[in-house]
Amino acid sequence: MSDQEFMRALGYANAAFDLLKRSGIPPYPQFYELLYTYATGVNPTLNNRINTIFRNGAAPSQDLVETLYNEFLKSDVNDRMSSVSERMHARIEAVHDAIDAAMTTANAYSGSLQSATGDLEHELSPEMIRQLAGRLLAETRRMQDTNSELERQLESSRDDIAALQRDLDDVRRESMLDPLTKIANRKSLDEGLAEAIREAAETGAPLSLMLVDIDHFKTFNDTYGHQTGDQVLRLVAMTLKSNIKGKDLAARYGGEEFVAVLPSTDMEGAVIVAENVRKAIQAKELLKRSTNEKLGRITASFGVARFHPTDNAMSLIERADRCLYAAKHAGRNRVVSESELVELGGGGSSASAA
């Protein structure tokens, strides 16, 4: 973790503990997690709820904080996975029951055929033959009915399993997306970056990483409100995603920071992508949706690093973070690559001025 990221995380932690202390709420892990999440601003609905409480002159009580935690942070992904698992288990049990019934009927039918074979070895009267034929016909119809039920169960199971697979895919997709910006979240970033590093190390193909930080976001957020701030975050996320392609991955890193993982892209290509994103963000004029008030334009700073054979995810991110820090201190609204660090004197890193 770079000094800049450490200081940012420490600031969130201090803000969370301050809220716990001021509200007289015990610093249990789940309550700390809730207010730490509030401090980062990554869950806009949660922030709006807590901001409303503060605006009304109240402080969140322990009971209210527990309610908010259960509503916003107690993940329903596991519950949904459990539901899918239960449905899958029920469907498999139904198929097993149908197969068992079919096997029982088949065994009985086989026994009837063997018995009939034995009977036919003896001389039978016409009446006995008629009774034997009637018994075999009834057994055959029972066998047909059982097979039809098995076919119905298998057909139904095929449709149910396809629906369950879709549900599992939906749960997985939701668990990998940032709820506000609808681009990859930190979990998805960690997995995607690890895979990109593994592939680059094995093939020798280039890999670049781009860090993006919205300039003066806190001031903008405080001035125009969190809803407008959320609009800015969505705009930057959309702009970043629309300017990458193929196997590239756009993710929200935390707060007002974003990351783009750029496989098969060398430093020169990554800088071009970063410049395109920077110009696209700067070109967009913001409107406050509630009033159509023109809020001007926003800018962002960029740090670009390339993968080295000795890199892991942390070292690559730290180097991009130093580049981002250099871009901030070189005037913001610019792209700095690691090859420029020496020229700009940005070899170190400390807390960033947003």
pLDDT digits (tens, 9 = 90+) for 13-26: 888 888 888 888 87
Contact 253, 259 (CB under 8 A): yes
When pLDDT is averaged across residues 197-225 and rounded to a whole number, the result is 92
pLDDT score for 202: 94
Same domain? 333 vs 210: yes
Contact 258, 251 (CB under 8 A): yes
| Cross-strand bridge partners of residue 157 | none
Would the pLDDT of 223 be above 80? yes
**285 to each of 231, 298, 299, how far by Cα in Å?**
12, 8, 11
Q: How many helices (H) and strands (E) does the chain have?
A: 12, 7
Same domain? 106 vs 145: yes
Same domain? 233 vs 317: yes
**294 to each of 90, 99, 156, 233, 300, how far by Cα in Å?**
56, 68, 56, 17, 19
Same domain? 90 vs 68: no
Cα angle: 21, vertex 24, 29; to 5 degrees? 70
Residue 129: phi and psi, rounded to 5, are -65, -40
Q: Which of 256, 257, 338, 340 is catalytic?
A: 256
Q: What is the pLDDT of residues 90-145, one digit of tens each?
A: 767 776 777 777 777 777 777 767 776 776 677 767 777 777 778 777 878 887 78
Same domain? 313 vs 191: yes
Q: What is the pLDDT of residues 281-330, one digit of tens each?
A: 999 888 776 677 777 889 999 999 999 999 999 999 999 999 999 999 99
How far is Cα 259 from Cα 183, in angstroms, rounded to an integer?
Answer: 10
pLDDT score for 2: 59
Same domain? 13 vs 137: no
How far is Cα 24 from Cα 69, in angstroms, rounded to an integer?
Answer: 16
Buried b (16+ CB within 10 A) or exposed e, 96-115: eebeeebeebeeebeebeee
Active site (annotated) includes residue 66: no
Domain boundary pick from 22, 56, 72? 72
| Cross-strand bridge partners of residue 286 | 296
Long-range contacts of 136-140 (CB under 8 A, 24+ apart): 136/112, 139/108, 139/109, 139/112, 140/109
Would the pLDDT of 173 be above 90? no
Q: What is the pLDDT of residues 251-288, one digit of tens each?
A: 999 889 999 999 999 999 999 999 999 999 999 888 77
Quickly state the pLDDT bin for 76 (edges 50, 70, 90).
low
Domain that holds residue 29: 3-72
Same domain? 192 vs 246: yes
Percent over 90 (pLDDT), the chain: 33
Residue 180 within any structural domain of the chain: no
pTM over 0.85, yes/no: no
Same domain? 209 vs 320: yes
Looking at residue 285, its amino acid is E
Same domain? 84 vs 68: no
